[in-house]
A and B are shown apart, each in its own frame.
Chain A
């Protein structure tokens, strides 16, 4: 036996002895001691921290330098403004590519690359934009009207028909021509007077002709530029994109509005709202959207400033008014449709379902719109007595089982919504209960989102569906309520066909006079409140949190994702 083995033998014996003698009591004692140590040191740390805490700095002059990390739920798909249709892509490319116009947080349009709003011709068909002088791309090349013309051609010109732009439908319908009579001027002529033209199509990020102009439509679909833009004209320029992880942008010093204060902007991809909330609390991200259910816990962490504002995102349900379907027989009378809305105590939902972060909708237009009429012809308060009397008056009489019947047909139907959305599932349950109280038998059914979309858009195999939706900057609501969109493929799932509404919506689209449009939309809201084919229930709130070190972030109703003209002014207090 060698000396080595002796040592090993001793070691082994010691190990054995250790196991024998190490009783549970000792273990617990050790644990307790460790715990006490931690508590003590934590106390020491807090004490020292309290001694050292400085007063809060309120210096308001922007410091140059530093970075912000923003958390978001989805990864970017493309950086090409004419290919993107998702929020995430629009958000990031919006920081790199300005359009002719941008939006303020209240929805008003302002000039971006264009000096100001365009001059419109008296017939309302021609828009003349004057670009700002000395616009440059980040590589120093001048940005001229040719770049603007090129960008729009990608969307409507037949030579680019292989370029898979999701905008092609609208742009080819509404644009007659886009020309550049001189390097500072862009003239857009539309095929018909289209009031939302500027808001819907005047804000696309302008792409560089000197980089992309030589590519064919087909090649543009897979151009490397789409995932790694080499030049930009916005506040930031592209640095890197680690797919599924983050996008890194750096300040663009040639930006027309002046260089941004930040050195870097990082867009971080996270799986869900819980992770975003966690990372806002730990400070791993500086900016992020907050889900209503996470609001209280993010606020309690004390690390962030939270801003909340109304948005045009809403939950609504629709009756199937197709006369060949069950819904058509049940909901043909407007008294029935109205009664069901009167029976809902929506004010109580604000706290119970939305944690206080929503408002009851009084009209189909959002309260954020310039066309909003707060008190349309019919205002739906919570009125069970009225609901009952309307149904009685319409000939729906309560049977022996408490369910109303008319001509042998009970007022019994199914309500569909998508599984996985807690808010909507709760709404359906509350609706079921509220309607049971007035003698209506409604059963909730949860289905997968793609199936729900198919039902709403194509097959129309529902009685009532509940879903979320959002309005754009323009008050036009044809997608949901114009009869032409009741054809399969359109979003008018309720099959609502009203000649008055059609005429009003069409007239409001074909005049540029905002006052006239406002009157038309007032009338529209009156009719909709009376006819109520698809009652809009609640309007949500946009909630954003920024870390205490981030200054000058100015989120608002129309300044959330793609439009952030204030991003160049954001700065961080610690300059890191």
Chain B
């Protein structure tokens, strides 16, 4: 039964990866027109040059032929070279991956650290103005577009603060271009983008913690604990919070595979050299190989992560195997 389950999940995962990459290629192909990636249109190029370059890159064939060739190479571990500058795609991906992870892990961390207390306060102060303000804050954090929030923060903490001579935060990049690179410099650059990205997790998880907490606090065993004379502190933290956190941990765990793909908008707004920004910039230039490489890589990780989580669940909880 378990084996059958795993096989089915595995099959579904492969289908997802193939589907995502195929659709990505299809969309790029449909929108590219007669454009040749990497070649700025200038009058010195003749039609024969463009035709030759297009043939070199394999763009004169239908996209499914290109797709099959590309897939064959990927199966052999060859992610190919960028169509823009000929550099190996894998190098780019491995270069950018740590930056993306740095950003998203920090955002998740901030999210966890802040959402638990906020959720607890909301649960304990349920119905009061504090609770309502926290609710509004959560919903706003979820509803506000990341690019707007990012630009606003840059405007306030970088431009305005600097203009007024106050200590200001750098508006983009991982480190200062000159003389930077130490931990303090990296942290300064990390604060704003990680905060913007964390809003998403923060709002989600604080709401969840709150409702989970409320649910747990209304359980019978809580009443029993109080009846036994246990202190309120032990009731809330030992029995209440610990049980409320279990589903939150699950939620956070499910979020982890998405870490590699999470921060595209924030990366662009803050000039953060991550995978998301790589895919974005290269997609604009129709650099098929790089975009497909990044898409494949992230899809693989997300799907693999989810697959692992599903399998673990199925091992732990037999009811799931029949789903």
What is A's interface to B at a CB cutoff of 8 Å? 5, 8-9, 12-13, 16, 19, 24, 42, 45-46, 49, 67, 69, 75, 77-78, 85-87, 164, 166-170, 200, 221-222, 226-227, 242-246, 248, 264, 266, 268-271, 274-275, 278-279, 281-284, 301, 448-451, 453-454, 457-458, 478-480, 487-491
Given A166-B49, A489-B47, are A19 and B171 neighbors across the interface (CB < 8 Å)?
Answer: no
Chain B residues within 8 Å of A454, by CB: 33-35
CA distance A301 to B168 in the complex (A): 15
What is B's interface to A at a CB cutoff of 8 Å? 31-35, 38-51, 53, 56, 81, 84-87, 92, 95-96, 121, 124-125, 129-130, 151, 154-155, 158-159, 162-166, 168, 170-174, 176-178, 231-233, 236-237, 268-269, 271, 273, 277-278, 281, 286
Given A244-B96, A269-B271, are A451 and B33 neighbors across the interface (CB < 8 Å)?
Answer: yes
User: Sorted from nearest, which 5 A-B pairs have the closest CB atoms?
Assistant: A489-B47, A479-B43, A12-B233, A450-B33, A77-B85
Residue of B nearest to A20 (CB): B125
Given A222-B86, A243-B92, A244-B96, are A270 and B43 neighbors across the interface (CB < 8 Å)?
Answer: no
Residue of A nearest to B162 (CB): A282
A-B contact pairs, 15 of them (CB 8 A): A24-B129, A45-B165, A169-B45, A242-B273, A270-B172, A271-B269, A279-B171, A281-B162, A282-B170, A301-B159, A450-B32, A453-B33, A487-B47, A489-B51, A491-B43
CA distance A67 to B179 in the complex (A): 10
Which of A168, A243, A268: most chain B CB closer than 10 A? Answer: A243
Chain A residues within 8 Å of B176, by CB: 284
Which of A85, A200, A274: most chain B CB closer than 10 A? Answer: A85
Q: How far, in Å, is B304 (CB) from chain A's closest CB?
A: 26
CA distance A226 to B84 in the complex (A): 13
User: Could you tell me if A85 and B87 are in contact, using CB atoms closer than 8 angstroms?
Assistant: no
User: Could you tell me if A453 and B41 are in contact, using CB atoms closer than 8 angstroms?
Assistant: yes
Given A245-B173, A490-B47, are A458 and B34 neighbors across the interface (CB < 8 Å)?
Answer: yes
Residue of B nearest to A457 (CB): B34
Chain A residues within 8 Å of B177, by CB: 69, 246, 248, 266, 268, 284
User: Could you tell me if A168 and B49 are in contact, using CB atoms closer than 8 angstroms?
Assistant: yes
User: Could you tell me if B165 and A282 are in contact, using CB atoms closer than 8 angstroms?
Assistant: no
User: Could you tell me if A275 and B49 are in contact, using CB atoms closer than 8 angstroms?
Assistant: no
Chain A residues within 8 Å of B268, by CB: 271
CA distance A279 to B178 in the complex (A): 14
Given A9-B231, A42-B164, are A453 and B35 neighbors across the interface (CB < 8 Å)?
Answer: yes
User: Could you tell me if A12 and B49 are in contact, using CB atoms closer than 8 angstroms?
Assistant: no
CA distance A458 to B174 in the complex (A): 43
User: Could you tell me if A284 and B33 are in contact, using CB atoms closer than 8 angstroms?
Assistant: no
User: Could you tell me if B38 and A222 are in contact, using CB atoms closer than 8 angstroms?
Assistant: no
Chain A residues within 8 Å of B35, by CB: 449-450, 453-454
Total A-B pairs, Cβ < 8 A: 152
Chain B residues within 8 Å of A266, by CB: 177-178
CA distance A281 to B178 in the complex (A): 17
Q: How far, in Å, is A506 (CB) from chain B's closest CB?
A: 16
User: Could you tell me if A453 and B174 are in contact, using CB atoms closer than 8 angstroms?
Assistant: no
Contacts beyond the supplied A69-B178, A243-B95, A491-B43: 18 A-B pairs with Cβ under 8 Å: A13-B233, A19-B125, A42-B164, A45-B166, A69-B177, A85-B39, A166-B44, A170-B44, A242-B273, A270-B172, A271-B269, A278-B158, A284-B170, A284-B176, A450-B286, A454-B35, A457-B34, A489-B51
Q: How far, in Å, is B162 (CB) from chain A's closest CB?
A: 4
Given A453-B33, A453-B34, are A244 and B281 neighbors across the interface (CB < 8 Å)?
Answer: yes
User: Could you tell me if A166 and B39 are in contact, using CB atoms closer than 8 angstroms?
Assistant: yes
Q: How far, in Å, is B266 (CB) from chain A's closest CB?
A: 12
Chain B residues within 8 Å of A49, by CB: 165
Given A45-B165, A77-B85, A269-B271, are A275 and B44 neighbors across the interface (CB < 8 Å)?
Answer: no
CA distance A488 to B48 in the complex (A): 11
Residue of B nearest to A269 (CB): B271
User: Could you tell me if B278 and A488 are in contact, using CB atoms closer than 8 angstroms?
Assistant: no
User: Could you tell me if A488 and B162 are in contact, using CB atoms closer than 8 angstroms?
Assistant: no
Q: How far, in Å, is A314 (CB) from chain B's closest CB?
A: 14
Chain B residues within 8 Å of A245, by CB: 173-174, 273
Given A166-B45, A243-B95, are A278 and B178 neighbors across the interface (CB < 8 Å)?
Answer: no
Q: How far, in Å, is B285 (CB) from chain A's closest CB?
A: 9
Chain B residues within 8 Å of A24, by CB: 129
Residue of A nearest to B163 (CB): A301
CA distance A272 to B236 in the complex (A): 50
Chain B residues within 8 Å of A270, by CB: 172, 271
Which of A19, A270, A271, A487: most chain B CB closer than 10 A? Answer: A271
Q: How far, in Å, is A315 (CB) from chain B's closest CB?
A: 15
Chain A residues within 8 Å of B269, by CB: 271
Q: How far, in Å, is A93 (CB) from chain B's closest CB?
A: 12
User: Could you tell me if B159 and A282 are in contact, using CB atoms closer than 8 angstroms?
Assistant: yes
Residue of B nearest to A76 (CB): B85
Chain B residues within 8 Å of A274, by CB: 151
Q: How far, in Å, is B306 (CB) from chain A's closest CB?
A: 28
Chain B residues within 8 Å of A75, by CB: 281
CA distance A48 to B53 in the complex (A): 63
Chain B residues within 8 Å of A222, by CB: 81, 86
CA distance A86 to B154 in the complex (A): 30
CA distance A245 to B53 in the complex (A): 28
Given A45-B165, A282-B159, are A244 and B277 neighbors across the interface (CB < 8 Å)?
Answer: yes
Chain A residues within 8 Å of B273, by CB: 242-245
User: Could you tell me if B166 and A243 are in contact, using CB atoms closer than 8 angstroms?
Assistant: no
CA distance A80 to B280 in the complex (A): 25
Q: How far, in Å, is A557 (CB) from chain B's closest CB?
A: 18
Chain A residues within 8 Å of B56, by CB: 164
User: Could you tell me if A67 and B178 are in contact, using CB atoms closer than 8 angstroms?
Assistant: yes
